[in-house]
């Protein structure tokens, strides 16, 4: 483009009118006579005059030749502004109802011209009632007198308030000073009376002494009566406590006897949600004796009946619980092996494999100065060196994880390094024997 061409001014397209403006323009654009003037016509004038109340009032006055009150227009506009969401059918129906209501118009009051002011007689009514009409000379005088009276009233009120402020702080001080002076005078007069009439003071002292003596005697008698009453109440309370203690002692003895009898009968009963140690030991004995897990619950129940202890069905572990106990027993043995390697400085790791019926099984064991424990006994896919190495590494890592689970304060990598460092030597079959398998 050449620079000589002028750029066209960009003008935004005129935006569409809103719902309220469109409805008012389509239904109330023509202003009718005053008899059929609706609220919609007034609102249309308000919208077209850029929402100016004074312009709306003047336009209405020119169109209808009638006087319209500001309050009526403001009240109508306040109701119009409450409609925020005209897309709602219910709210739009209320808006239509408001627009179709008749608008109240106040007729024009006639004004007096200059000729009527000169010819009419002076007004005798109050100036407040004649504000909308032309004022005569008498009304001006009355208004001036009224303003002077109001000024005098305010001046008198201000003087009184200032006078009250000045006197409020001084009056209590003066009253307090007078009270102090009177109290001093009264005390001096009392001293003089006592000096002039000593006999009267002695009689008063004797009467006061007798009253005190009588009061002390009454107090002593009341104290003795209270003491006797307290001792009686204490003795009765001691008797009640003794009887209650004896009853509680007998109740505790009965409860202990019942507890001993129940423990004798239910030594293998369930302790809350967990099985007690005796029941676990019985299950472990059955497992080490190669008893199948499906037979163990019935075997325990028959043993309990033979020995005279009545066990409920909830006290006997089911097959799944027995199998979980097998896992627990394996974890305990793994923890034992991990602690042996962790505490011993020099241990020997040995492994031996065998094949039976096409299944290749490898066993790993740890030997210390005093003990020899089995680390793992698992089936392997083959008999190569990689298979044995991975089996040993996984077993050592498993021992480190088990030890960290039981002791969360330990770090897994530190435990693993310490276990590996304590394995000082390994022991296995000859390579020829492994290849023969």
Per-residue pLDDT band at 115 (split at 50, 70, 90): very low
Q: Which of 68, 20, 65 is nearest to 47 (CA)?
A: 20
Instruction: State phi, psi for 138 to the nearest 5 degrees.
Output: -65, -40
State the chain's mean pLDDT as an integer: 77
pTM over cut 0.85: no
Ranking 51-65, 160-174, 200-214 by mean pLDDT, the lowest is 160-174
Q: What is the DSSP string of 154-174?
A: HHHHHHHHHHHHHHHHHHHHH
Give the residue-averaged pLDDT of 22-40: 77
Which residues, 6+ apart, have CB-to-CB distance to 368 below 8 Å?
340, 344, 346, 347, 348
Q: Which pLDDT belongs to residue 259?
A: 67
pLDDT of 406 above 50: yes
Instruction: Give me the residues paired with residue 347 across strands.
Output: 423
Identify which has the larger pLDDT, 260 or 204: 204
pLDDT at residue 261 above 50? yes
State the pLDDT at residue 356.
83
Query: What pLDDT score was predicted for residue 198?
Result: 66
CB-CB contact of 338 with 400 (8 Å): yes
Q: Which of 313, 428, 321, 330 minimizes the C-alpha distance to 373?
A: 330
Work out the average pLDDT over 340-362. 86
| Statement: residue 171 has pLDDT above 70 | no
pLDDT band at 118 (very low <50, low <70, confident <90, very high): very low
| pLDDT number for residue 432 | 56
At residue 67, φ and ψ (nearest 5 deg) are: -85, 125
For 295-319, the pLDDT digits (tens) are 888 888 887 777 767 677 777 888 8
Residue 68 pLDDT:
66
pLDDT confidence of residue 133? 46
Q: Write down the pLDDT at residue 385.
A: 82
**pLDDT tens figures, 270-295:** 666 777 777 888 888 888 888 888 88
Chain centroid offset of residue 92 CA: 42
Tell me the mean pLDDT in the region 18-42.
Answer: 79
Q: What is the structure's pLDDT at 112?
A: 42
User: Which of the residue ranges 153-157, 163-167, 210-214, 236-240 would you say has the lowest mean pLDDT?
Assistant: 163-167
């Amino acid at each position: 483009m050449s620079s000589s061409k002028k750029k066209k001014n960009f003008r935004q397209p005129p935006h569409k009118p809103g719902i309220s403006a469109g409805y008012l323009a389509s239904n109330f654009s023509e202003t009718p006579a005053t008899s059929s003037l609706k609220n919609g016509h007034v609102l249309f004038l308000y919208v077209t005059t850029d929402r100016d109340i004074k312009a709306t009032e003047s336009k209405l006055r020119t169109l209808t030749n009638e006087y319209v009150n500001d309050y009526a227009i403001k009240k109508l506009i306040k109701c119009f502004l409450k409609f925020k969401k005209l897309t709602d059918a219910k709210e739009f129906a209320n808006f239509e109802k408001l627009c179709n209501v008749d608008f109240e118009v106040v007729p024009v009051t006639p004004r007096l011209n200059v000729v009527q002011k000169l010819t009419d007689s002076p007004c005798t009514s109050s100036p407040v009632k004649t504000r909308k009409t032309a004022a005569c000379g008498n009304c001006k005088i009355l208004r001036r007198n009224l303003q002077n009276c109001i000024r005098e009233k305010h001046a008198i009120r201000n003087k009184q308030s200032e006078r009250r402020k000045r006197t409020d702080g001084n009056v209590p001080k003066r009253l307090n000073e007078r009270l102090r002076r009177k109290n001093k005078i009264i005390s001096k007069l009392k001293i003089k009376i006592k000096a002039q009439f000593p006999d009267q003071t002695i009689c008063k002292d004797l009467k006061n002494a007798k009253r005190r003596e009588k009061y002390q005697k009454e107090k002593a008698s009341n104290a003795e009566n209270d003491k006797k009453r307290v001792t009686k109440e204490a003795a009765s309370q001691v008797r009640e406590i003794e009887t209650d203690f004896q009853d509680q002692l007998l109740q505790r003895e009965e409860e202990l006897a019942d507890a001993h009898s129940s423990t004798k009968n239910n030594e293998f009963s369930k302790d809350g949600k967990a099985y007690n140690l005796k029941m676990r030991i019985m299950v472990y004995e059955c497992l080490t004796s190669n008893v199948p897990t499906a037979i163990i619950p019935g075997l325990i129940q028959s043993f309990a009946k033979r020995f005279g202890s009545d066990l409920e069905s909830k006290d006997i572990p089911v097959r799944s619980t027995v199998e979980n106990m097998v896992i627990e027993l394996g974890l305990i043995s793994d923890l034992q092996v991990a602690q042996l390697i962790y505490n011993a400085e020099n241990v020997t790791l040995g492994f031996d494999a065998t094949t039976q019926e096409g299944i290749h099984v490898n066993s790993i064991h740890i030997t210390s100065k005093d003990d020899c424990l089995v680390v793992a006994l698992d089936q392997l896919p083959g008999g190569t060196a990689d298979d044995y190495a991975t089996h040993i590494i996984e077993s050592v890592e498993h021992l480190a994880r088990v030890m960290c689970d039981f002791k969360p304060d330990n770090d897994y990598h530190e435990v693993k390094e310490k276990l590996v460092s304590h394995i000082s030597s390994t022991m296995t079959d000859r390579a020829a024997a492994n290849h023969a398998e």
